[in-house]
Structure 1
């Protein structure tokens, strides 16, 4: 499984979200390759991903992609990240 964490620049916030996704996956007993990405790169990378996690502001900028998008309101809220991940993965 491949998950992309997306922020505007792909440097700070997406790395923070990636780390929280990694922790959430561990808590859920799941494994995945998680990649931090900027919005421009994510458009192309989403085609080969199983899930994209990003903010409500950036989700529409991904365009019309077939990959499910999970919107996270607070990237540092571990409970929210875990809940959104579990819902997106039907766990």
Structure 2
């Protein structure tokens, strides 16, 4: 895969919580030497965006799961880099090295 990984952080309006999540995803990716473009976005726009994976809360997971064809990662604690890393890295490795 020659281009950067494209990752979305999704919440209801694409501000607030998704911005926090975006910053923490970027930290986890940087700590794992993964180059990616991470964008925070609202749930309506996320469905139409091309990306490699989507992070969201439990609140929006059920709404998105049948509308997207990329890996969808449910994050319970947006401030937990440990949770983000544990849930994301196996999927990222599969995307990048498959």
1:8 aligns with 2:12: yes
Normalised by the size of structure 2, how large is the TM-score? 0.84
Paired position in structure 1 for 2:91: 88
Query: Which runs of 4 or more aligned residues in structure 1 lie more than 2 Å from their structure 2 counterparts after TM superposition?
Result: none
Normalised by the size of structure 1, how large is the TM-score? 0.90
* 5+ residue gaps, structure 1: none
| Whole-Å separation in 1 of the counterparts to 2:73 and 2:58 | 9
Larger radius of gyration: 2
Paired position in structure 2 for 1:19: 23
Deviates more, 1:10-19 or 1:52-61: 52-61
1:52: Cα distance to partner? 0.3
SS in 1 for 2:40: strand
Aligned pair count reads 89
**RMSD over aligned Cα, in angstroms?**
1.2
Paired position in structure 2 for 1:60: 62
SS in 2 for 1:20: helix
